[in-house]
Amino acid sequence: MSDVFFADEEPFLIFANRYYLRKLNLDGSNYTLLKQGLNNAVALDFDYHQEMIYWTDVNTQGSMIRRMHINGSNVQVIILSGNNLIFCPQVLHLDWIGGNLYWCDKGRDTIEVSKLNGAYRTVLINNGLKEPRAVNAPCRYLYWTDWGDNAHIGRIGMDGTNRSVIIQDNITWPNGLTLDFVNDRIYWADAREDYIAFASLDGTNRHTVLAEDIPHIFAMTLFEEYIYWTDWETKSINRAHKTLGTNKTMLISTLHRPMDIHIYHPYRQPRGANKRPH
């Protein structure tokens, strides 16, 4: 069954490229600058209905989380490291329904949450994480990946309860966590074992999509019939069919390593929906 949706708005990719934020059409055309002059932009997400992009800028002099309008105006600092120079927010997720912002702090091995303006900052998970690398929050659970000695994919209730490990076999460097709510699946890539896979939201029914010619996936997103990902080794953005792994295509190669990536479109963030297509 096809998951194709129809809307007047054209979807496009947004991605971080260390010194820039850029956008790109889904066929690789219209490679456009959104923001330049950044130190080390790693993670990003967006609020479609407020037309805002959020991103992390990570460096040893003091990291921060910022946001701006999609047109590049109204740049604001949301979270600032201050005197905490180990603050290292390398993963970001925006919950547009709850109005919350989640991030993984690699410096302190925590997962934190705040309101979209940075208020009410709270540590959600502060134990049992060694190398948190990805986070994604659907309606009931927050999902994350961990590269530590006991690499895994875990989930926890949005209120901090019901924490569990859902994937822990044949997993080493899990990156690129994204969710397909049309089919109730969780997708991830393993940057060490070099595969892309999906499973049901509880970790069962695991299936490998691709297992060759994907050297080092950093981030991944999904829309309609395709998955899209950034690759550090080839410095490229690619796509393939989300279940068959067919029609694998390099959309663009970049000068610097492409980091986080998302698809900017209203069907990624429908209002008041229990099922949120990714």
> pLDDT tens digits for 148-207?
889 999 998 877 788 899 999 999 999 889 988 788 899 999 999 999 999 999 999 999
Residue at token pair 């948190």:
132
Look at the chain and count its residues. 278
Sheet containing 122-125: order of strands: 89-95, 100-105, 110-115, 122-125
In a domain, 149, yes or no: yes
In a domain, 6, yes or no: no
Neighbours of 113 (CB within 10 A): 22
In a domain, 52, yes or no: yes
* CA–CA gap between residue 163 and residue 166 (Å, rounded): 10
Looking at residue 139, what is its pLDDT? 65
Range of the domain at 256: 16-268
**Of the candidates 141, 243, 241, the residue with the CA atom closest to the CA atom of residue 183:** 243
In a domain, 274, yes or no: no
Looking at residue 158, what is its pLDDT? 77
Contact between 91 and 135 under an 8 Å Cβ cutoff? The reply is: yes
Residue 233 structure tokens: 């080794």
* CA–CA gap between residue 49 and residue 52 (Å, rounded): 8
Residues ≥6 apart with Cβ < 8 Å to 77? 64, 65, 66
In a domain, 4, yes or no: no
In a domain, 261, yes or no: yes
Provide the sign of the torsion angle of the four alpha carbons 130, 39, 64, 160, taken in this order: negative
CATH code for the domain of 207: 2.120.10.30
Tens place of pLDDT per residue across the chain (278 aa): 344 544 568 999 999 999 999 999 999 999 999 999 999 999 999 999 999 999 999 887 778 999 999 999 999 999 987 666 557 788 899 998 889 999 988 777 788 899 999 999 988 888 776 655 656 766 678 898 888 889 999 998 877 788 899 999 999 999 889 988 788 899 999 999 999 999 999 999 999 999 999 999 999 999 999 999 999 999 999 999 999 999 999 999 998 999 999 999 988 887 754 444 44
> Is this prediction's pTM over 0.85?
yes
In a domain, 3, yes or no: no
In a domain, 8, yes or no: no
Domain count, the chain: 1
Q: CA 121: distance to chain centroid?
A: 20
